[in-house]
Chain A
Amino acid sequence: MSDAVLTLAHLNKRFGALQATSDVSLDLREGEIHALIGPNGAGKSTLIGQIAGGLKPDSGSIALAGREISTLSVAQRARLGLGRSFQVSSLAEPLSVKRNVMIAVQALQGHSFRFWKPVQRDESLLAPAMQALERMALAHRADTPVSELSHGERRQVEVACALALKPRVLLLDEPMAGLGPEGSARLTELLEALKHEVPILLIEHDMNAVFRLADRISVLVAGAVIAHGDGAEIRGNPQVREAYLGD
């Protein structure tokens, strides 16, 4: 696949007797949303950990834009263009929304060993941060501390942080988790608008969102990919229906 930005090949990860990731190969192409679905305990989080850098795979390779990244640190992967959001929001609570996003812009601009110029009125940090927030329809909350945000807004900040990195790949770990139908519909809309700008690997439980957003879907069961295909194919796949969609 020549236009794949992110390629996982024969990835394996074992915790004791548990094969958490079993020979997983999948790719993410330019301009698409690739959804990864699977029941609880299917190994989705383990897989994300390996892509983002928290976990080291036992074997197999992960390539980002043709470069092997499976031995790099979290920060190094981020610098190569891997933006991610977390299943449980991971933001600096006492800081304003703006400051949370600005740290990503700062990272993108290069090293942080600058001790003199104040960041507070640094337009080169502020402007891109505000831009990312506007993409997530959150510019009006820029000065609010994260601790005062709703659950859904935090999700939007997380995605804005990832966007501010100008990533080549977005890795979204259950962005709809804990959102009501309204919040979920809203975030789906915002993600849809990003679709052709940056390819997204979407790990999600919310089937409405998945079928609406995803170009391709992979189904993970017991650590292995049991099916690949577009929405219609997955919906029609008897194995998937049995394992996951609950028929």
Chain B
Amino acid sequence: MTKSDTRILAPQPGLPAPTASWHDRKGLVQIGLLALLLLAPLAAHFLGHVYYVNLASRVTLVAMAAVGLNLAIGYGGMVSFGHAAYFGLGGYVAGISAYHAFDLTPVIGWPVAIPGSDSMLAIWLVAIVVCGLLALAIGAVSLRTTGVYFIMITLAFAQMIYYFANSWPTYGGEDGLPIYLRNTLPIVDTNDALTFFLICFGGLTLSLALTSRIMKSRFGAALTMARLNDTRLATAGIAPYPIRLVAFVISAMITGLAGALYADLNGFVSPTMLSWHMSGELMVIVILGGVGRLYGPLAGAILYVMMETLLGGLTEYWKLFLGLVLLLVVLFAKYGVMGWLAGRERHE
């Protein structure tokens, strides 16, 4: 490319940036975020700071949970204030399964005995299925409403599950349930902090790739239209409700899988994971990063956990500063950190 070409292709004020260079910049930001997330714990590992490797795992899992939520909020226009239900349920699947594996008692004794298991693969599968079924039930009811009512009804369902977990003594009630031995995978040692981080990192990249692929497909086109103009979608002959419901279920499955890993990271699951604070935290991360931006949840999670760690070390009132940052983002960077770093999203 000659110099004069570059000048012509440079974004001019008032005109949309040429697609090619815009893609380049977005791609660079995305690769940069992933590289940062991957390299920081590697460096920490070789410097012997296990704490920071685990912190990176936390960022990764919170980001993954938010990727799930972003599919509902950002791509589907369904503002769920109850995604902690799936995050926590995924966590409880890991916790309960490990508890029974440790105890050598069945999870369910009748009509068929289902034993506990400390196999992550089995736990992930169950977490995905169970969270999908829960989201199917909750979504089927909630998606009959819109707007504020949808927000409130998803919150109400999640709170029901929270209070249930809080008051059910079998699995620790409000004290929560410890996972004494981290669940296992064939071949690799999940107790190694870096190995566990890489598993989480794999989960995050997979959910990002899945979201990207889905949104480019016919289903994604229909979901986008359901968000932008559901009358247009119905007029074309596609009923919006089933499209939204399926997206809601996929969203919950991703968040649920992140929850199962999160319980294993902490070696502990408690109703806190199910509480509305958790739902709010995930929402804040999505908004910070940029609603409906593929890498928004990752950018948001990095920012959130960094603020929590750095400011939280200085003052217990760190959420005041989080509030200020959120305020600034909402007021001045409408498209979140990703919009600020990579420019506005353009549809093809």
Binding site for B on A (CB under 8 A): 52, 73-76, 78-79, 84, 86, 90-96, 99-100, 102-104, 106-108, 112-120, 122, 125, 143, 145, 161-162, 165
Contact = CB atoms under 8 A, between A and B. Distances in A.
Q: Which of A52, A112, A114, A115 has the most CB of B within 10 A?
A: A112
B2 interface: no
A102 B222 CA distance: 10
A99 B229 contact: no
9 contacts: A78-B235, A90-B235, A92-B228, A95-B347, A99-B348, A106-B221, A113-B218, A120-B216, A165-B237
Given A103-B225, A104-B236, 12 more contacts: A75-B237, A75-B239, A95-B224, A103-B233, A103-B236, A104-B237, A106-B221, A112-B243, A114-B218, A115-B213, A118-B217, A145-B347
Interface string B146-171: 00000000000000000000000000
A233 to B, nearest CB: 33
Contacts of B246: 113
A66 to B, nearest CB: 19
A112 B235 contact: no
B238 interface: yes
A219 to B, nearest CB: 27
Contacts of B224: 92, 95
Contacts of A73: 234, 239
A35 B229 CA distance: 28
Contacts of A91: 229, 232
B345 to A, nearest CB: 9
Is chain B's interface secondary structure helix, strand, loop, or mixed overall? helix
A92 B235 contact: no
A237 B216 CA distance: 56
A220 B221 CA distance: 39
Interface string B285-323: 000000000000000000000000000000000000000
Contacts of A122: 218
Contacts of A76: 237, 239
B219 interface: yes
The contact size tier of chain B is: 20 to 34
A106 B238 contact: yes
Q: Which 8 A/B pairs are nearest by Cβ-Cβ distance?
A: A78-B237, A92-B228, A107-B237, A107-B236, A112-B222, A75-B239, A79-B237, A118-B216
Given A74-B234, A92-B229, A112 B347 contact: no
B325 interface: no
Contacts of B237: 75-76, 78-79, 104, 107-108, 165
Contacts of A96: 347-348
Interface in B171-226: 213-214, 216-222, 224-225
